[in-house]
Amino acid sequence: MTDKIENSFKDFLTCLQMAKLYGASHPITLKSTEKAYFSLQDALADRQELVIGIIGAELAFEKEIFFDLSKFLNQPITYLKSRGIERIVFSRGFELGELNKFIGFLALPKEEIKGDPQESLVLSGIRSISVGKVKGSPGYGKSGRLEGLNSYQASLDQISPSLTKMMNNEAVDGLSLKLAVNNIVNNLGVYYDQLFELATLKRYDTGTFIHLLNVSILSMHFSSKLGFSKDVITDIGISALFHDIGKLYISRKTIRKPGQLSAQEFKQMESHTVFGAKLLMRYVEAIGIMPIVVCFEHHLKHDLSGYPKSVFKNKQHIVSAIVSICDVYDALSQRRSYKTDYPPDMIHGLMMRGSGTSFDPDLLNSFFKSIGVWPIGSILLLSDKRVGVVAEENEANIFLPKVRIIHPQNNGEIIDLKENKEGIKIERYLSPWSEGKEFLHLV
């Protein structure tokens, strides 16, 4: 289905380029428009409308971002944005004549378009095709998620080169890295729900740096809830980003080994904290001292029973304690070759057992108060046999979130499990790797 959508976007924007080059009435443009018409009709075969979104410089459809296609069609995308058009809706039943008029309208010189583009379309008799902005646009309620996905992917694209450079012992641009992390901080305030939902769903993505970015997002969100300043939150985000860099040097065979590690393998695994701290010392001018401290201490534990062992019994730094909680939480959430994914309520139980030993009790309680037991994006089967996705936490009761129903009717109904009079409860968690997989497209 996605291929149909992508092809329709490609054919439509190609025909716009033809109109700009040859004119809207040229035979080449008309032939290209006809191809686009049939391509769009094919994409509309099983839906009432087809929405083309432009997020930043990327083409988007629902929760998909077409990065490769966007690079290929950068010119028409930039052209549409310069006209104030970030959203195009094709309704089922639009005719070839309307598309010809629409292409002609888009190809007009900018100075000939007066006032609002949508009003001009209506005056031209084009009623089955509409245009507008993405933000706040009716009928495009998923725009926030698209922004979140775009931000998540862009952040991953920006931080990965810095990590790779460190792996190759190359120079790192500290300012660019700080700006990239600061961009995540800015987006946390606006798109936290979407970013956290993506972090929840992308735990089944095996990309090298997904875990590091997830821990960074978690740590910054948690820090913001604790009241840290924006500058400190940025430093915490960078520290979380590099907390496991030493582990990236450890043999993949060792990291992914099913079953128990040998004494030698475990010693090698434990060495990643010291190895990583030494590596980061080379970049202290670019990233500061805090990432080094966190890299060294994040396995130290609250009662100092962890590693690396030291003759100095210094208490774990609060930033190390924050990153440690977020690191363990995300690691338990992920599926590995040596373990299955644990449901969120089990993760809560496992981590609470470490309260006072592995984790600072006050910080751990605050962490779950900030994210809840069932994080945003979790797919749940309810006691009335409907399926919902967690849309919002209830700080007053972290076990009872607000849930948006997605099956059997995906009509946007929200149920507050703390307040509902029908006594609806959570029956069980549906993992995105198994039972929940069929509902991912609805999330």
Q: Is the pLDDT of residue 318 over 90?
A: yes
* Percent of the chain's residues with pLDDT above 90: 34
Non-local CB neighbours of 123 within 8 Å, separated by 6+ positions: none
What integer is the mean pLDDT of 109-121? 78
Q: In degrees to the nearest 10, what's the CA dihedral of 269, 272, 273, 279?
A: 170
Q: How far apart are CA 46 and CA 36, in angstroms?
A: 17
Q: According to the per-residue pLDDT averaged within each range, which of 111-125, 136-150, 180-194 is highest?
A: 111-125
Sheet hosting strand 414-416, strand order edge to edge: 414-416, 402-407, 387-392, 379-382, 426-429
pLDDT of residue 311: 65
Non-local CB neighbours of 37 within 8 Å, separated by 6+ positions: 96, 99
16 or 3: which leads in pLDDT: 16
Beta bridge partners of 382: 426
What domains sit in the chain, N to C, each tagged with a CATH number?
A: 2-132 (no CATH), 143-370 (1.10.3210.10), 379-442 (no CATH)
Lowest mean pLDDT of 277-281, 352-356, 361-365, name the range.
Answer: 277-281
What integer is the mean pLDDT of 123-130? 86
pLDDT digits (tens, 9 = 90+) for 43-73: 998 888 898 888 767 788 875 777 778 778 8
State the pairing for strand pair 129-132/379-382: unpaired
pLDDT of residue 139: 33
Lowest mean pLDDT of 327-341, 405-419, 429-443, name the range.
Answer: 327-341
pLDDT digits (tens, 9 = 90+) for 272-314: 898 889 888 988 887 889 999 999 999 999 999 998 887 677 8
Radius of gyration for the chain, computed over Cα atoms and rounded to the nearest angstrom: 25
Confidence of residue 141 (pLDDT cuts 50, 70, 90): very low
Q: What is the mean pLDDT of the chain?
A: 81
Confidence of residue 257 (pLDDT cuts 50, 70, 90): low
| Closest by CA position to 397, among listed 374, 414, 378, 377 | 374
Give the CA distances from residue 384 to residues 155, 426, 440, in Å, rounded to whole numbers and listed in that order.
39, 9, 20
pLDDT of residue 266: 66
pLDDT of residue 136: 37
Q: Is the pLDDT of residue 201 over 60?
A: no
| Closest by CA position to 276, among listed 309, 310, 243 | 243
Confidence of residue 410 (pLDDT cuts 50, 70, 90): confident
pLDDT of residue 190: 46
Dihedral pair phi/psi, residue 49, rounded to 5°: -150, 155
93 or 2: which leads in pLDDT: 93
Q: Please, which contacts does 182-185 make with residues 24 or more away whose CB atoms are closer than 8 Å?
A: 182/230, 182/234, 183/151, 183/154, 183/155, 183/158, 184/151, 184/155, 184/216, 184/217, 184/220, 184/237, 185/220, 185/224, 185/230, 185/233, 185/234, 185/237
